[in-house]
Amino acid sequence: MGTFKAVVIEKGEGGQSVALRSFDEADLMDGDVTVRVTHSTLNYKDGLALTGKAPVVRRFPMIPGIDFSGVVEASSHPGWAPGDAVILTGWGLGETHLGAYAEKARVKGDWLVALPASLTPEQAMAVGTAGFTAMLALLALERHGLRPEAGPALVTGAAGGVGSVATALLAAAGWHVVAATGRAAEEAEYLRGLGAAEIIGREELSTPGKPLGRERWAAAVDAVGSTTLANALAMTRYGGAVAACGLAGGMDLPGSVAPFILRGVALLGIDSVMAPQALRREAWARLARDLDLDRLAAMTTTIPLSGVIERGPAILAGRTRGRVVVTVD
């Protein structure tokens, strides 16, 4: 037992405080696998946790960070042995269980997934929770029976983490991608590089619209919610579907039942936190096979562990692009 570096959130009478400090390994929570964390990411939920803008953290003190890649140091779990390269996303990491912004983590072995052989630990976290969620959305659309020949696919929040990976995955699968972003002018070249065929401004979707609009796309991946999601549904073609996986614009849904009962549109809910292991393995196998690693590199920036605290407000304000990998080790 010893100490290691960790970002720690504490809460006192004066509110929440966050600092990079030494953490005692004896204070890690119960688990049957101890992992040396090498990489993590900065997700929207991490920004909420770091800033305290929403009640993401459910216990204090808390090490934030909802995903990591690393190497098993010790294990009493039958599925894992020292030296195994692993990934963890979700399962309450960084919310109810001490998380990824630390040099070590102790977790349940049932939460882990093997690092695909074709990905490095850094690439796996360039994918991270956001990319994993984007793949779950694509799988849900495919299970609904939708294919590129059905028509265009919309991606909202396209310059963000989920949106960037969703754009790249849909384009690689042959979809005509319509990318919606609040930074259309400055991000056009970036989004076209990821495979977007059209780029539209966020304002086309972020103001209240009609219960039914012009049919513009057959499928959509929405990471925004609220009015944007309502408009995406209202403009979805007959028999199409929208995979909803985020709430950057709000948790409400100020729409109507018209798209559902007049056009047979489906709203597919995407949860990455508690996704079952079989689905996780399928998603990571598809990511390793289908995601263009050059496009992944183009959407990725890297920061040290010491940089995550100041980056929290930036991701909430929409001032980050693509994926942010945190080098821990």
Domain spans of the chain?
Answer: 3-115+299-327, 130-269
Tell me the mean pLDDT in the region 78-98.
98
Q: Is the Cα torsion angle 307, 135, 122, 23 positive or negative in sign?
A: positive
pLDDT of 15 > 90? The answer is: no
- Per-residue pLDDT of 207-247, as tens digits, reads 999 999 999 999 999 999 999 999 999 999 999 999 999 99
Residue 93, SS3?
strand
pLDDT of residue 1 exceeding 80: no
88 phi and psi, to 5 degrees?
-140, 130
What is the tens place of the pLDDT at every residue in 131-173?
Answer: 999 999 999 999 999 999 999 999 999 999 999 999 999 999 9
> Is 80 exceeded by the pLDDT of residue 182?
yes
**CA distance readout (Å), 112 to 47, 61, 126, 186:** 23, 23, 17, 38
Q: Which residues contact 284 (CB under 8 A, 6 or more apart)?
A: 87, 113, 116, 132, 135
Q: What is the CATH number of domain 3-115+299-327?
A: 3.90.180.10
What single-letter DSSP state applies at residue 307? G
Q: Which CATH architecture has domain 130-269?
A: 3-Layer(aba) Sandwich (3.40)
d(CA 178, CA 214): 15
